[in-house]
Amino acid sequence: MKKLITILILVVSSNSIFAQTCTKADTENVPGVWKPGIKSTISLSGADLIKAKSVTPIADNMMRPGFEVPKGLEATYFSAYLGFNNNLGNNLAQYYYINRFNHFMCYNNQVTRNPDSQIILRITFNDPGIIFSRDVLPGEWQENEKDHFGWLDNFPDQKNGIIYTKATPDSAQFTRQPDRWLLTYDGKLPYAYVTRLEYLQKRKEKLDKSYIKENELTKSIYPIRPKAEQEKEKAEVLQKYKDEAAKGYGDWTNRYLQNYQTDEQKQEVYLKSNAENYQKSIRAVDNLLKMPEKELQKTAIVSDLGEFTAFSNEGDVGAHILIKENPEYYNSKLPKAVPQVIFVTLTRYDGSSKPNYITVYNEIMSRLDLEKLKGLLGK
């Protein structure tokens, strides 16, 4: 028995000796490594897929060879071949290449890769749609509507077909610091600025459509039933209250009659409210349409905060510079997978202020050859 107890003590002691607690130092000393990311999404086929798969390795060869990932980080790389961009008029084959950089953390006392990437490089081919990312007009766009408005946070810096689009922090990720470049043909842009006049005309059109839809919805929610049906319901409710009063539950008859409305009256109240809101919005548009022609031809800058009553200025909180697609930009004679516009984003989150992430960011910037990528356009 003593021998058994001795053995048990030795086993417990042995486990205590070899058990290790995960520490911050452990996470920081994990050797840096490149790993393939998620399995590529493939929605292209034939010649389009062959062409796309000949382009993404150019980006990969630019970024990975000789890139030593610092200790404490894991880098992943992958490409995706998404299909055709039907949301814009170019209808080109869309695909992209991505690098993600993650650090390690202690989880269940083990060194584990943190799932939240702190630096993300994304090179997207044939999709400027990332900057066409919000509809600030009222109402709903029809599916795949081609004349929708996109937006920019600021007027971008442009030089030799390389457009640097400054960006404010994302509303959901206030720590996000994105660098964004749009690579285009020289002297051409895949978008055009929307004038104030154009915006006001479109807004008025959307308000009219929205008003009609709102009234249709109101009438469906508050339909007008036959008079006899309404009277029958009213009598049943009054009888219910009368019976409850007889049982000592209180008499709600007078309150019911004071608040009673026929179907016609209910519907009229909501239709009137719809009309008042519509007229208020339309008046704001009509007043702005009275501006001098020179003012109406300026670029529309619109805030997405609250009801639209006036145009904003660049840099105002919530302000967006409106743009629209320029279908004349694209060469329709080229195969659909040939790059005609390239959008590059390099995003840093709050954790990227650590020294190893700073090293990664500087290395990416030194390798990111925008001119080389731009040289792929039209080829």
pLDDT digits (tens, 9 = 90+) for 170-205: 444 445 667 888 899 988 888 889 999 999 998 898
Cα 295 to Cα 308: distance, rounded to the nearest angstrom: 17
Considering only residues 8 and 49, tell me which one the structure prediction assigns the higher pLDDT: 49
Q: Does 153 share its domain with 60?
A: yes
The C-alpha torsion from 191 through 89 and 295 to 153, rounded to 10°, is -50
Residues 6+ apart with CB under 8 A from 181: 162, 163, 164, 165, 343, 344, 370
13 within domain boundaries: no
Q: Does 142 share its domain with 280?
A: no
Domain span at residue 262 reads: 197-298
Q: Does 293 share its domain with 360?
A: no
29 within domain boundaries: yes
242 within domain boundaries: yes
6 within domain boundaries: no
pLDDT of residue 376: 96
349, 339, 353, 300: which is closest to 123 by C-alpha? Answer: 339
* pTM of the predicted model as reported, rounded to 2 decimal places: 0.76
11 within domain boundaries: no
Strands (E), 287-352: 301-303, 319-325, 342-348
Q: Does 186 share its domain with 37?
A: yes
In the block, tokens 């900057």 appear at: 131
**pLDDT above 70 (res 271):** yes
pLDDT of residue 226: 96
Mean pLDDT for the stretch of residues 65-92: 87
305 within domain boundaries: no
Mean pLDDT for the stretch of residues 274-283: 94
10 within domain boundaries: no
Cα 237 to Cα 252: distance, rounded to the nearest angstrom: 10
Mean pLDDT for the stretch of residues 85-102: 84
**Which pLDDT band, with edges at 50, 70 and 90, does 144 fall under?**
very low
pLDDT of residue 303: 85
pLDDT of residue 214: 94
- Neighbour-count burial of 294, counting CB atoms closer than 10 A to its CB (0-12 exposed, 13-18 middle, 19+ buried): exposed
Apex 29 CA angle, 353 and 18, nearest 5: 140
Which of 298, 316, 345 terminates a domain? The answer is: 298
Q: Does 57 share its domain with 180?
A: yes
12 within domain boundaries: no
Q: Does 248 share its domain with 181?
A: no
Q: What is the DSSP letter of 126?
A: S
Q: What is the pLDDT of residues 285-332, one digit of tens each?
A: 999 999 999 999 999 998 877 788 899 998 888 888 888 888 889 998
Domain count for the chain: 2
Query: Which ranges of 19-119 would DSSP assign to H, the alpha helix?
Result: 24-28, 46-63
Q: Does 46 share its domain with 186?
A: yes
Q: Does 211 share its domain with 225?
A: yes
Q: Does 53 share its domain with 182?
A: yes
Q: Does 34 share its domain with 178?
A: yes
Q: Does 43 share its domain with 110?
A: yes
357, 329, 352: which is closest to 183 by C-alpha? Answer: 329
Q: Does 246 share its domain with 338?
A: no
Structure tokens at 129: 């749609």
